Chains A and B, each alone.
Chain A
Amino acid sequence: MLEGKNLKKQYHGREILKGIDISVEAGKIVSLIGPSGSGKTTLLRVLSMLDPANSGAVIFEGQEYKFPMREENIIPPWPRISVVFQQLFLWPHLTLKENILLPLGGVQESKQMEELIDLFQMRGFIERYPNQASLGQKQRVALVRALVLNPEYLLLDEITSALDIEQVGIILNYLQGLKNKGVGILLVTHLLNFAKRASDQIVFLDEGQILERGDANILKNPDHPRIKKFISLIESAS
């Protein structure tokens, strides 16, 4: 299990996370929704320990990391925990294919990679450089870069924002397959149908606090007026 307890994070004196409790179990999908600036991306970075919390604890497979703590005392949990960032951060000097291959440590070809390239329909652009690819193409590459490392926990930040319905469907099916294999997934998304279909738990975050959590019903019948407003805004926009 990957768990965060009472996680707090400040940037420049502004409190971004105000004591978050969250857990992602193996073989479960948790969707994190909330308005822009609510702290979703920060939560992903803090929970993955890429960005240490100011206080609170992260528990990964029984190992507890209490913050604040020195970075060198963290036993690197990556790529067992893997993150796909919203901004993707593909290395610009490498082709898209090299971006996937580099973390594989000199492996020239990977069967899994080749399968994923075909599955996500990437064959036509995989030899391009990041600046020659569209956002949707880069989103798929960043996802595959994480998937080929076979993570136990996968934290995904808005990775489908530039994809069409067909590609979102392919990714959703693939994530459900991963879930069945025991991978724990935390998914930041604005796609409510995607969240409803995929998630075991939905967590609504606003201004650094969790307002509500539960199954897909919290999106159908939300208690909190803030969530009602957010859902109606998203539905009217889509």
Chain B
Amino acid sequence: MSILDIIINYREGLLSGLLVTLELCLIIWFSGLVIGTLLGYLGAKYKIEIGGPSRAISFILSGIPVLVLLFWLHYPLQAMLQININPFLTAAFALSIINIFSISELVRNALANFPAEYNMAAKVCGLSHKDTFTKIELPIIMRQIIPTALNIQVNMLQLTLFASLISVEEIFRVAQRINSIIYKPIEIYTALALFFLLICLPLNGIAIWFKAKYTRNISES
């Protein structure tokens, strides 16, 4: 049975797994990019009240393996609270938290390290606050954070595989189930690798393109 045969024969199962993975991914990406950007902005603006706690949480999270966090939220926490939450929601929450704090740190650092002299040059040229933000600060900061933010999103997509370990029916878990039936690991996991390559490579490519095109231009003035 070839890769193509497996994809055709198990298309419904693979498709449902793919949709779960994509749904999970969209939640993680959206929450990370929106809430993370907002948190990063607020963290740069209110350094002590928001920036401090945000950095502390990021630091703690950076020391906890994703799998441990996922398991901890899924098993002991729910047992302690005597609640039962859908594993999909648990995985979405855990991975969103990681994405939110990764993005917030990226944005907060970019804002905190933005050279004040560019604003001073804008001020002396008579530019308004709005023009300074939209035409100078935002474009420079976006050029700095977009490549790294894209890399983080690719990494988050790959981390969704861990959701299978708490019984989320995402594509990796579906692939494992198919393999347990037909035992064709090479073909199945190659198909899975191709799926991830299909999504990850363009994102990585865009990140590299962005970096090559724009980072060079802000390397010095």
Contact = CB atoms under 8 A, between A and B. Distances in A.
A93 B139 contact: yes
B211 interface: no
B140 interface: yes
B125 A149 contact: yes
A88 interface: yes
Given A93-B214, A102-B135, A130 B123 contact: no
Contact of A130 (B115, B131, B221): B221
A131 B219 CA distance: 7
Contacts of A87: 117
Contacts of B135: 102
Nearest to B126: A79
B140 A91 contact: yes
Nearest to A130: B221
Contact of B124 (A82, A130, A131): A82
B217 interface: yes
Contact of A92 (B120, B122, B217): B217
Contact of B220 (A91, A103, A131): A131
Contact of A50 (B120, B218, B220): B120
B217 A131 contact: yes
Contacts of A79: 124-126
A129 B217 contact: yes
A48 B125 CA distance: 12
Interface in B164-221: 214, 216-221
A83 B139 CA distance: 24
A210 interface: no
A81 B117 CA distance: 17
A76 interface: yes
Nearest to A79: B126
Contact of A149 (B117, B126, B139): B126
A78 interface: yes
B126 A78 contact: yes
Contacts of A82: 124-125
Contacts of A93: 136, 139-140, 143, 214, 217-218
B210 to A, nearest CB: 12
Nearest to B219: A131
Interface string A133-158: 00000100000011001000000000
A33 B115 CA distance: 27
Contacts of A76: 123, 126
Nearest to B119: A89
Interface string A222-235: 00000000000000
Interface in B101-135: 115, 117-118, 120-127, 131, 135
A90 interface: yes
A204 interface: no
Contacts of B221: 88-92, 130-131, 138
Contacts of A145: 125
B122 to A, nearest CB: 8
Given A102-B135, A130-B220, A131-B217, A85 B126 contact: no
Interface string A157-198: 000000000000000000000000000000000000000000
A184 to B, nearest CB: 16
Contacts of B124: 48, 50, 78-79, 81-83, 146
Given A50-B120, A91-B118, A102-B135, A78 B125 contact: yes
A48 B221 CA distance: 22
Contact of B218 (A48, A92, A103, A138): A92
A85 B216 contact: no
Contact of B121 (A89, A131, A138): A89
Would you list the 8 A-B pairs with minimal beta carbon distance, nearest first? A103-B125, A89-B121, A79-B126, A92-B218, A92-B221, A89-B117, A130-B221, A131-B220
Interface of B: 115, 117-118, 120-127, 131, 135-136, 139-140, 143, 214, 216-221
24 contacts: A48-B124, A79-B126, A81-B124, A82-B125, A88-B221, A89-B115, A90-B221, A91-B121, A91-B140, A91-B221, A92-B217, A92-B219, A92-B221, A93-B139, A93-B217, A93-B218, A102-B131, A103-B127, A129-B217, A130-B217, A130-B220, A131-B219, A131-B220, A138-B221
